[in-house]
Structure 1
């Protein structure tokens, strides 16, 4: 819509400018015509100025907005407009000044004194020539009147014809006193003869009769000759004459003279003669008179004409200047438009849009440049497509490698030469217990806060690499004194850099660190070794214990009654000690047998909360100052497990908790159950915590190993047996110290046999996630 409005204004401006030029061409030919058309010229000038001003204002507003918005090409457009405008406006101003000077001098030359005086002299000369001719005709008429006065009236007709022929008159008429025609002669139609004398002639003759005071040869002074529609008459003595104009620019000289009569006669007869003026003399006189009149009119309108010409010239100058500026803006925009397209295309290419195609503006150098740009973008697009395909291939290989690394139970970490973390698989995060993905691109030390095991690993790796040890293999024992200790087999290998890579890090190369968690393997080896030890101990120790106990009891029954005094007391204490120690050794042997026994579980479905309540009540009835509280999760209804072995787990944990707080004032043991969901498996978690001293720091990482205990009494097999039973059920067990004080053991058992099998499949697919 805006474009159509601009086209309409341009069309209006073209029409108005054409009309203005036409009017100027017509009006300058005649000053009178120019005066008549001056109003139209000014109006059309004003319309043209308003139109081109509106067009120019719109263009300037668009240019200013583009300049302020820093539109590409706006500065170049402004400079081009300034150059074009200065190149056009300067010549226009020079032409305008010279035109004004020429106009002033040209019009002033019209009104020079010499021209005015020459016109006045020519006018006077023409009047003198006409006056001489009129006096000559008047004298002929007067002589003819005197001739008639001396002739009888009967001869007047013949005399009239003769006089007309001799004098060259057109018409000769003799009037009587009453104005009747007494004699007449004419070269044309006799119907034209006047029957009565004209009033002018009659009045002139009467005046001549009344007064004879007029001086002969002195007619009244006049300023014009033959330009008026009325007759101009003159009287000299007894003669009257006048100049009568005709319709086609010709003139006639009308003369009258009285016919002399005797003194005292009352007759007033006179002769009227009509003479032609020569056409050449009439035309010259008319031309001189017309030129003189026009010169007078021009002199009177000199200043208005000058002002009108100046105003018109000024308006035309403004119109030309505004048109030139508008044309400069339009031309600059058209010239800069391909440059703007190139700038926009360059920015689009800079943003990655290689599909940009620019229209060809022309077949010149600019067109060649645009064609080259289009060819460049075409090649860039092809190169990007090739690069995209290559990247996709690399990404597919990387995805395959990522899938392989994700399925590995071995941790893999890559570090740059600057020791920044570049990648890590999920197994590495699981083994080290920290989310390594959030540390990609950062030093390993940024992730060590709150993760002491990972801090030890990062410190060991960075220290070796900082020393220049690029290729090494080592077994790392991570924080054995803490819960969740790990033993890792770690290997480091350098990787060469890619010289063609755009990344500086890729060009420098990297380190690949591969490590595996052998904690479970070592634990399994220890468990197998302790199991073999337990079986041998149970076999070797259990056999002699019974005879020893029986022999001590037989000696006590047979000899105690026969002895008195001190000997009897010694025998009693000795046999009692032997029996008690044998019982203790039997308990230890039974514990060894229990630890070394192969799993033979009887999976049944039973209510876990009821079993927890039953075992807790059993320990409450014993004489002890320790309070046993239970916190049960009602969401746990039935579990599928070996009821007897779960009871054994509860007994061992509660007994350990009670023994841990025996010397603690207001000792308390809390047994809690909770339903947990991990992935697609459901776990029943049993947590036994106390407010005792907690686990010793030096044994916290080995509390589930056999014969590891911080209590003054005990075999150290309780938690080992608990761990063994939990593993047989496919569960997890962990021990730690509570922040507020006291120890805590958490046992998580799959709720159903389906969950147990699912956990077994996940453990076969992932690294073992046991935490001690």
Structure 2
């Protein structure tokens, strides 16, 4: 900033100095036009100043022109406008300058030629001749008077001194001097008493007088005017008289002398100008040419300067608009003038201020919106209900975590993608997307439906609802689909219903079974011995069948009772790995010793649960697996335990996996329902009872097929058993409560 200020100051000083020298040169040239005698002295200065100014202007113009060409090639904003303005200004300045130059040169040449017109020269010569003739006439008159005085002196033999005074007064002479033969002064008379010694004649005057000729001359006087000097020989009246010479000095009238001087001076000046005629014309033409070029270059440089001064605010405005387009609203342009351009700059600055203020308000509004959006995102993230919002073209806009958890998919990766093409057809997400997009593509924007999604290892039942988001113009701005996983709710309802059915069936069926069995046994005892062999055989077979079927029905009723009742759990702490090993030993010898493989976590702590029910869980799982593996050449069962420590607290995971045929896809979501089984024998209550026991302990259970084939049951139990009322079993029994970790 300081360097730029110094540069501008230096340029301003140089411009002022150059302008002063140029004006001085013009004034000197105007002065020398009137006094051409001094033109030759001032001409080098004038030419030097103009040439120096031309060089400086050429350098400045070359620099500006180079910069303009460079900006033109680079397509700098304002370069074309600057070029047009410079061209127009140069053209506007060139035409009048050329006209003025042409007519100035013509007028100057004609004016100089008019100075030397023939009539003027002849008039000056005639005036000079006239003045010289008048002076010659005065000289002849004074010479004749001197001759007369000489004759009078020759005729008067008296003392010449008094006579000279009288003659001087009569002839109006300045001085009369009478000289002898040896140039001695015989007598003198003068009107200037201070001059004691009279002026002696020149050698030329002596020579002419001795040769018998009269002498007359015209001498200028210091301070102006002329004196006529005459010398004549005094006639000798008698032979032997001494030769004498009379000298006389006469004044010329002052007016006549001044006129003669004026004519002479004018003629001399005219002669000097006549000799300088062509050099003057050449010098003046050269000077005018330099002045023309200097004026033209000054106008051109002024055009560059004015164009730059006018274009600079435009460039600043363009740069400012580009900065504003990029989001820089803090830019303020310098206000360099108060004209229309200054008003435009002021308007631009006012606009940026308002834009900056609007941006701040928009930022505050955006922050408020983002805060509300963050709060909404937190709320949606904590919801157990799945929420998916769609664009009008069915592109996924947002989805919460619950949606991904329910649909078993990464919903964040689907944002920005079409819902209709999301997921594979067999996946939960694919089935959900197909059903929803079918409604929306059919124009059904408001609907509610219960969906059943069948996955490879699970089945989900969803309650879905869709609504429309209205835009500002009243049209749809998108859609929101809200859905809940009601699989567990429906399962709980079914479990409750089956429990009530099992209780009623156990009550209604168990009561008549004992009388039926007792009646069949009594008939056998009473009638078997009294009947014939063939009839006794029929009775024995019939009663045996009745008793056997009654026993089977009793087992079924007991299973119903076991499923329906929820007795108090006998909770204790025990080693789960040891219990699993004990139950597995009961099954090892059925086929071979290594068909059941245990992978038990040695770091697993003791679990708090009902030991008997845990034994029943392991027994039922091993029984189902062994029944599924009947008839296989290489049956295998793997039991694995792991210690889990997650946000829900410490837990134990039990996995029972076999290499059998696995669950059919159509029943995999219903394997824990009562009377659902794919085995040729069995009641279908085994897994239902296992699920019920696990839930009574506060755990979870799920079933799927392993990747290598075969069924897999995974259950997770807390290390501290929790009853269905939310308290620990130890607390329920009155023991000290232990907080879950």
Q: What's the TM-score once normalised by structure 1's chain length?
A: 0.73
Which has the higher mean CA deviation after the structures are superposed, 714-723 or 58-67?
58-67
Instruction: Pick closer, same or farther for the CA change 1:406–1:146 going to 2, 3 Å.
Output: same
Q: Is the Cα contact below 8 Å between 2:427 and 2:456 reproduced in 1?
A: no
Which residue number corresponds to residue 739 of structure 2? none
Which residue number corresponds to residue 285 of structure 2? 310
1:262 positional shift: 10
Which residue number corresponds to residue 734 of structure 1? 702
Taking the TM superposition and a 5 Å limit, the aligned residue runs for 1:752-771 are none
Which residue number corresponds to residue 169 of structure 1? 173
Identify the match of residue 107 of structure 1 among 103, 112, 135: 112
Secondary structure of 2:666's counterpart equals: helix
1:589 positional shift: 6.2
Q: Is the Cα contact below 8 Å between 1:171 and 1:273 reproduced in 2?
A: yes
Report the Cα distance in structure 2 between the residues aligned to 1:298 and 1:754, rounded to whole angstroms. Answer: 135
1:95 positional shift: 2.3
1:165 positional shift: 3.2
1:55 positional shift: 6.7
Q: Is the Cα contact below 8 Å between 1:434 and 1:451 reproduced in 2?
A: no
Which residue number corresponds to residue 523 of structure 1? 491
Q: Is the Cα contact below 8 Å between 2:462 and 2:485 reproduced in 1?
A: yes
Instruction: Pick closer, same or farther for the CA change 1:666–1:272 going to 2, 3 Å.
Output: farther
Identify the match of residue 474 of structure 1 among 449, 468, 474: 449
Report the Cα distance in structure 2 between the residues aligned to 1:636 and 1:92, rounded to whole angstroms. Answer: 109
Which residue number corresponds to residue 592 of structure 2? 624
For the pair 1:16 / 2:18, whether they are aligned, the reply is: yes
Identify the match of residue 179 of structure 1 among 168, 177, 183: 183
Secondary structure of 1:28's counterpart equals: helix
Give deviations 1:693-719, integer Å, cap 9, x for gaps.
443333333333334444555554444
Q: Is the Cα contact below 8 Å between 1:242 and 1:253 reproduced in 2?
A: yes
Secondary structure of 2:195's counterpart equals: helix
Which residue number corresponds to residue 458 of structure 1? 433
Report the Cα distance in structure 2 between the residues aligned to 1:271 and 1:263, rounded to whole angstroms. Answer: 18
Give deviations 1:194-220, integer Å, cap 9, x for gaps.
47x35xx235524775xx6xxxxxxxx
For the pair 1:202 / 2:213, whether they are aligned, the reply is: no
Give deviations 1:622-675, integer Å, cap 9, x for gaps.
652755555566775565555555555555555655665666666554444556
For the pair 1:160 / 2:135, whether they are aligned, the reply is: no
Taking the TM superposition and a 5 Å limit, the aligned residue runs for 1:77-226 are 79=84, 82-142=87-147, 144-145=149-150, 148=153, 152=157, 155-191=159-195, 193-194=197-198, 197=200, 201-202=202-203, 204-206=205-207, 209=210
Report the Cα distance in structure 2 between the residues aligned to 1:649 and 1:264, rounded to whole angstroms. Answer: 199
Report the Cα distance in structure 2 between the residues aligned to 1:439 and 1:72, rounded to whole angstroms. Answer: 46
1:465 positional shift: 3.6
Instruction: Pick closer, same or farther for the CA change 1:113–1:518 going to 2, 3 Å.
Output: same
1:303 positional shift: 4.6
Report the Cα distance in structure 2 between the residues aligned to 1:577 and 1:714, rounded to whole angstroms. Answer: 19
Secondary structure of 2:592's counterpart equals: coil
Which has the higher mean CA deviation after the structures are superposed, 246-255 or 521-530?
246-255
Secondary structure of 1:29's counterpart equals: helix
Instruction: Pick closer, same or farther for the CA change 1:629–1:93 going to 2, 3 Å.
Output: farther
1:188 positional shift: 0.8
Identify the match of residue 714 of structure 2 among 727, 746, 757: 746
Identify the match of residue 219 of structure 2 among 244, 253, 270: 244
Any unmatched runs of 5+ in structure 1? 213-236, 560-568, 761-772
Q: Is the Cα contact below 8 Å between 2:468 and 2:476 reproduced in 1?
A: no
Give deviations 1:61-114, integer Å, cap 9, x for gaps.
787787777777666566555545544443333323332332333233334454
Q: Is the Cα contact below 8 Å between 1:530 and 1:706 reproduced in 2?
A: yes
1:728 positional shift: 3.2
Q: Is the Cα contact below 8 Å between 1:671 and 1:688 reproduced in 2?
A: yes
Which residue number corresponds to residue 272 of structure 1? 247
Q: Is the Cα contact below 8 Å between 1:439 and 1:446 reproduced in 2?
A: no
Identify the match of residue 284 of structure 1 among 259, 275, 285: 259
Q: Is the Cα contact below 8 Å between 2:28 and 2:46 reproduced in 1?
A: no
Report the Cα distance in structure 2 between the residues aligned to 1:192 and 1:639, rounded to whole angstroms. Answer: 166
Report the Cα distance in structure 1 between the residues aligned to 2:275 and 2:631, rounded to whole angstroms. Answer: 139
Q: Is the Cα contact below 8 Å between 1:605 and 1:638 reproduced in 2?
A: yes
For the pair 1:720 / 2:688, whether they are aligned, the reply is: yes
Report the Cα distance in structure 2 between the residues aligned to 1:634 and 1:406, rounded to whole angstroms. Answer: 37
Taking the TM superposition and a 5 Å limit, the aligned residue runs for 1:25-104 are 25-30=27-32, 31-45=36-50, 48-49=53-54, 79=84, 82-104=87-109
Report the Cα distance in structure 2 between the residues aligned to 1:98 and 1:78, rounded to whole angstroms. Answer: 30
Identify the match of residue 673 of structure 2 among 705, 712, 716: 705
1:485 positional shift: 1.4
Taking the TM superposition and a 5 Å limit, the aligned residue runs for 1:480-495 are 482-493=456-467
Number of equivalenced pairs: 715
Report the Cα distance in structure 2 between the residues aligned to 1:92 and 1:667, rounded to whole angstroms. Answer: 117
Q: Is the Cα contact below 8 Å between 1:27 and 1:33 reproduced in 2?
A: no
Instruction: Pick closer, same or farther for the CA change 1:409–1:250 going to 2, 3 Å.
Output: same
Secondary structure of 1:273's counterpart equals: strand
Q: Is the Cα contact below 8 Å between 1:414 and 1:512 reproduced in 2?
A: yes
Q: Is the Cα contact below 8 Å between 2:702 and 2:713 reproduced in 1?
A: yes
Give deviations 1:521-545, integer Å, cap 9, x for gaps.
2211222233345556666469959
Give deviations 1:569-615, integer Å, cap 9, x for gaps.
99999999999999988876665555444274455666666766776
Taking the TM superposition and a 5 Å limit, the aligned residue runs for 1:583-602 are 592=560, 594-598=562-566, 600-601=568-569
1:373 positional shift: 8.1
Report the Cα distance in structure 1 between the residues aligned to 2:241 and 2:543, rounded to whole angstroms. Answer: 218
Report the Cα distance in structure 2 between the residues aligned to 1:141 and 1:516, rounded to whole angstroms. Answer: 158
Secondary structure of 1:179's counterpart equals: coil
Identify the match of residue 298 of structure 1 among 245, 249, 273: 273
Q: Is the Cα contact below 8 Å between 2:214 and 2:230 reproduced in 1?
A: yes
Q: Is the Cα contact below 8 Å between 2:462 and 2:486 reproduced in 1?
A: yes
Which has the higher mean CA deviation after the structures are superposed, 628-637 or 89-98?
628-637
Which has the higher mean CA deviation after the structures are superposed, 593-602 or 283-292?
593-602
Q: Is the Cα contact below 8 Å between 2:459 and 2:668 reproduced in 1?
A: no
1:182 positional shift: 1.7
Report the Cα distance in structure 2 between the residues aligned to 1:735 and 1:549, rounded to whole angstroms. Answer: 43
